[in-house]
Structure 1
Amino acid sequence: MDAHENAPDGIWISRFSPAELDERASAVDPGLPLAGLTFAVKDNIDVAGLPTTAACADFAYLPERHAPVVQRLVDAGAIVVGKTNLDQFATGLTGARSPYGAPESVFGGGLISGGSSSGSAVAVANGSVHFSLGTDTAGSGRVPAALNGIAGIKPTRGLLSTLGVVPACRSLDCVSVFARELSTADRVMRVARGFVPEDPWSRRAPEEARQTGRPRVGVAEGLEFFGDSGQEKAYARFAGDVTVDVAPLLEAGDLLYRGPWVAERLAVLGDFLAAHPESVLPVTRRVLETGHGFTAADAFRAQHRLQELRAAADRMWERIDVLVLPTIGTTFTHAEIAGDPIGRNLILGRYTQFANLLDMAAVTVPNGFTEDGRPASLTLFGPAFSDDSLMALARSMRDDVETTGHTLPGRVLSGAGPGGAGMTVAVVGLHLSGEPRNGELLGRGGTLLGTARTAPLYRMYELPSGAPGLVRAEAGGAAIEIELWQLPAATVGGFLAGIPAPLSLGRLVLEDGTEVTGFLCEAYAVSGAPDITASGGWRNHRLKGSDS
């Protein structure tokens, strides 16, 4: 194993060696439900053979066995790659509180990755693994998902066992799941969950009532976006059925870091903190030490108030089936977090930290991008054990056939369109209207749906062949004009067969967050090619060329 060889990007703390991974992969039964899927594990969850550090080297220990949730995944054929970085002792939502480095969001620009499950989210978003495990006490399984454009699942407390997890707040902790695709997250959840008798916090899930008809979707008005008009506009794109008052939820969330639940962290870490104060990062130590300021009477007062707020939340579920809120009200760079690490951490948790106190399940999904290219997302909340219903609703929002009556801009564009079943294709160059290869679309019964623009994530180059090549940029991308065409299902195969290398069809993210199949170019082919991104699109580039 490569223990403690954290990558310079701050994602990993320890990993199994390539030889160990190859040996395990060769032994996997291909008939298992998760056969061959790789995953990462947040380094506060036990994996046999790798140290559990909780991002504190002096705290580290070597577990003899996997945590039960990890064992379930391994038994189903998944392969653990290694342990990922986190905000130390899972205390924080920024991804910037670790001696093992502070990973950046996959969208670059100095954007934080979010925490505390920072490495787990980035390892999924950058394609290092198929899925990962995190933990979520105040939002650590949702905030990093939002900042990296992936799905984050915070299950009902106790649905996934927390045995073998270093506690943050033992009564509130959850194991969470990250994946790029909701279908993958769903498969993982169905394997990972289950009652564990040895775990006093494990819960048996009752049979979930089957949802009939379209769910009643609640939204909120008057939310704070902390001056971020882009995030405000992204949330406004989603329309619900009922407007609800979320003030009781937000008040409950304030109890987590501004109330006596901070003291619960000391129940596990107090002795270590007292014996090794210099082993704990100053910002982490500052948060933990606030727990000393609460009395037993404070704890009971807070529990009494929380019970009142739970009753208000229960009344909310009489009006709606699911609540949809922005996952975060705004985003921050590492420099901004450094300027106010505790205050801005609280802002990141504004719409997440009430969930476990109020015994809710939650699913976070991407919701496009803001005008300045920052990722936006939504979180779907439901009462305890509504996990399957939330997942079904989230998937339907991004499914090929819209079944809910609600339009989420981040859903995958339908294969069905005005012309019946088929395929929607984004074209960027020679297949545009009036361009030389447009006839390949028209001749196959293609219908122009309209023009659109990509999210600001791409760069365009003029290839030696005279065609444009669109590539996903690691940094400094821009929005590119495209056209959307609908092809009948019967002609799709012939069209695909005619696409020449180095072009291929992949997933393009549009300006409103929609994903659609479209033309992309292999990165090797643009080496040395003129960068024409500034033109904003192939047609503009051609027009500029004719004017010169």
Structure 2
Amino acid sequence: MSLESLNERYRAFITLKEVRGKPEGRLKGLRFAVKDVIFVRGVRTTAGSKILADFVPERNATVVERILDEGGIIVGKANTHEFAIGATGTSSAYGIPRNPVDNERITGGSSSGSALAVALGMADVGLGTDTGGSVRIPASLCGVIGFKPTLGLIPTDGVIPFSWSLDTIGILARDLSLVRLTFEVISNKRLENGTTSVSKRLVLGVFRLGDDEGSKGVRKVVDKLSSHFDVTEVKLPVLDQRGNWARRVIASVEGAAFHKPLYEAYKHLYFPDVRRAIEFGMSLSGVDYVNAFRVRKDAIREFVKVMKGVDFLLTPTTKIVAPRISDVVGREQEYRETLISNTELFNLLGAPSVSLPLGSYNGLPVGLMVTGALYDDLRLLSVSEEIIRIVGR
């Protein structure tokens, strides 16, 4: 089936337009789906909104420039929940993307099209953004790998912002080697300690493994890993009890600050759930914002202390598998809060986190999220490769 025919059926891309850079390089011939909040020079960038339907950037985002300089090929601009403010993917002015396993279900979001293009084989690698889980959530629901690096390692200039304090470029693929290669090309900093000695028996801390669909979907995987690693339950009370609130306050206030002029001019053009999210940010006070950062500081201190006793954390990426589109439309806010409840905690911390397509529940995929210490990104990817090998994906 042609890209155009696939796209007509699944709505992975808002704009299909091939852009080539240098003919040689480390990414030679690899096809990239670029989320439609990331600038590609000469190709419209809509952010999934009618408001930006005719916006065409005159420059590339730094990450796009680096991909093209290394021989990568841009396939097109991938669908997104409007302005990346949502976790379901259903609020896009350019069609609702459909889950590759069951096209009556959502892909998750907000990097919905990037995950979908990778799952369908329309692209080798997807570029997305992750402010509360927007790479890892669709990775979990679509059955691909979704990696959110340590905050600040990948430049975000040339990206329409949601939250300056939390926005992260993320990478989606079906193979971890492509995730690592892309990360090495687009990141700002060369990290050390990128391999993990198999002679050391690592300690994996289990966090938020409960009785929800996601937990049931990955529990057998965690049990299997316990014969290869030391697996122990960990508690992060500050993060667990106050982290969701703090992350949402920070993102909401900063999102409202960016959108205020657009909101005042085009309020009627926003999707209802996105408009409500912006209005929530406007309703918060400076005191709320400062208190959220105080929680963030306490949560990071707690996390650093816990990570001295474990190597990595294991968490279900999402608490639910992909719900039906018909159940979600009109209830995006309710589903957003459920979908981001695990992932957003690690945005608050800024820690590297990857969703691996290792679980399933009722025949639908759900990810196992592996999280490392700050700047331990390459070791995280190495351990993730070992985990996939053990589970026998």
TM-score normalized by the length of structure 1: 0.66
Residues 346-374 of structure 1, C-alpha deviation per residue, up to 9 Å, x if partnerless? 1111110011211200111111422x211
Equivalent residues in 2 for 1:188-267, closer than 5 Å: 188-194=182-188, 204=189, 207-208=192-193, 211=196, 213-220=200-207, 223-225=210-212, 229-230=216-217, 237-239=224-226, 240-256=230-246, 258-267=248-257
Q: Is 1:326 aligned with 2:316?
A: yes
Question: Could you tell me which amino acid in structure 2 is paired with residue 362 of structure 1?
Answer: S
Secondary structure of the 2:293 match is helix
Q: Which of 334, 337, 349 is the aligned partner of 1:346?
A: 337
Q: Does the Cα contact within 8 Å between 1:42 and 1:117 map onto a contact in 2?
A: yes
Q: Give the gaps of 5 or more residues in structure 2.
A: none
Corresponding residue of 2:42: 49
Corresponding residue of 2:328: 337
Aligned residue pairs, count: 381
Equivalent residues in 2 for 1:145-544, closer than 5 Å: 145-194=139-188, 204=189, 207-208=192-193, 211=196, 213-220=200-207, 223-225=210-212, 229-230=216-217, 237-239=224-226, 240-256=230-246, 258-331=248-321, 332-338=323-329, 340-370=331-361, 372-399=362-389, 407=390, 409=391, 411=392, 514=393
CA–CA separation in structure 2 for the residues paired with 1:234 and 1:86? 30
Q: Does the Cα contact within 8 Å between 1:9 and 1:103 map onto a contact in 2?
A: yes
Offset, 1:223 = 2.5
Corresponding residue of 2:127: 133
Q: Does the Cα contact within 8 Å between 2:246 and 2:296 map onto a contact in 1?
A: no
The change in CA–CA distance for 1:333 and 1:257 in structure 2 (over 3 A counts) is farther
CA–CA separation in structure 2 for the residues paired with 1:221 and 1:338? 28
Offset, 1:232 = 5.2
Corresponding residue of 1:40: 33
Equivalent residues in 2 for 1:38-77, closer than 5 Å: 38-60=31-53, 61-77=55-71
Identity %: 33
CA–CA separation in structure 1 for the residues paired with 2:162 and 2:242? 18
Q: Which of 102, 111, 115 is the aligned partner of 1:117?
A: 111
The change in CA–CA distance for 1:227 and 1:142 in structure 2 (over 3 A counts) is closer
Q: Does the Cα contact within 8 Å between 2:127 and 2:172 map onto a contact in 1?
A: yes
Residues 226-274 of structure 1, C-alpha deviation per residue, up to 9 Å, x if partnerless? 6984455565554352210144333354125653431110121111011
Question: Could you tell me which amino acid in structure 2 is paired with residue 343 of structure 1?
Answer: E
Offset, 1:305 = 2.2
Q: Does the Cα contact within 8 Å between 1:149 and 1:377 map onto a contact in 2?
A: yes
Q: Does the Cα contact within 8 Å between 1:8 and 1:101 map onto a contact in 2?
A: no
Q: Give the gaps of 5 or more residues in structure 1.
A: 195-203, 400-406, 412-513, 515-548
Question: Could you tell me which amino acid in structure 1 is paired with residue 380 of structure 2?
Answer: L
- Identify which range, 132-141 or 375-384, moves more after superposition: 375-384
Q: Does the Cα contact within 8 Å between 1:135 and 1:141 map onto a contact in 2?
A: yes
CA–CA separation in structure 2 for the residues paired with 1:111 and 1:7? 16
Q: Is 1:97 aligned with 2:87?
A: no
Secondary structure of the 1:365 match is strand
Q: Does the Cα contact within 8 Å between 2:85 and 2:162 map onto a contact in 1?
A: yes
The change in CA–CA distance for 1:247 and 1:107 in structure 2 (over 3 A counts) is farther
Q: CA RMSD in A?
A: 2.3
CA–CA separation in structure 1 for the residues paired with 2:66 and 2:298? 37
- Identify which range, 179-188 or 56-65, moves more after superposition: 56-65
Question: Could you tell me which amino acid in structure 2 is paired with residue 151 of structure 1?
Answer: I
Offset, 1:72 = 0.6
CA–CA separation in structure 2 for the residues paired with 1:237 and 1:348? 25
The change in CA–CA distance for 1:83 and 1:225 in structure 2 (over 3 A counts) is same
Q: Does the Cα contact within 8 Å between 2:221 and 2:358 map onto a contact in 1?
A: yes
Secondary structure of the 1:284 match is helix
Secondary structure of the 1:115 match is coil
CA–CA separation in structure 1 for the residues paired with 2:276 and 2:86? 12
Secondary structure of the 2:294 match is helix
Choose between structure 1 and 2 for higher RCO, CA contacts under 8 A separated by at least 6 residues: 2
Secondary structure of the 2:156 match is coil
CA–CA separation in structure 1 for the residues paired with 2:169 and 2:272? 26
Residues 150-195 of structure 1, C-alpha deviation per residue, up to 9 Å, x if partnerless? 111101111111000000111110011111111111111111112x
Offset, 1:208 = 4.3
CA–CA separation in structure 2 for the residues paired with 1:150 and 1:226? 18
CA–CA separation in structure 2 for the residues paired with 1:8 and 1:338? 19
The change in CA–CA distance for 1:259 and 1:251 in structure 2 (over 3 A counts) is farther
Question: Could you tell me which amino acid in structure 1 is paired with residue 43 of structure 2?
Answer: L
The change in CA–CA distance for 1:373 and 1:250 in structure 2 (over 3 A counts) is same
Residues 416-472 of structure 1, C-alpha deviation per residue, up to 9 Å, x if partnerless? xxxxxxxxxxxxxxxxxxxxxxxxxxxxxxxxxxxxxxxxxxxxxxxxxxxxxxxxx
Question: Could you tell me which amino acid in structure 2 is paired with residue 310 of structure 1?
Answer: I
Offset, 1:338 = 2.6
Q: Does the Cα contact within 8 Å between 2:111 and 2:129 map onto a contact in 1?
A: yes
Residues 95-117 of structure 1, C-alpha deviation per residue, up to 9 Å, x if partnerless? 11111111111101522101000
CA–CA separation in structure 2 for the residues paired with 1:71 and 1:291? 33
CA–CA separation in structure 1 for the residues paired with 2:232 and 2:218? 21
Offset, 1:205 = 5.6
The change in CA–CA distance for 1:315 and 1:98 in structure 2 (over 3 A counts) is same
Structure with more helix by fraction? 2
Question: Could you tell me which amino acid in structure 2 is paired with residue 9 of structure 1?
Answer: Y
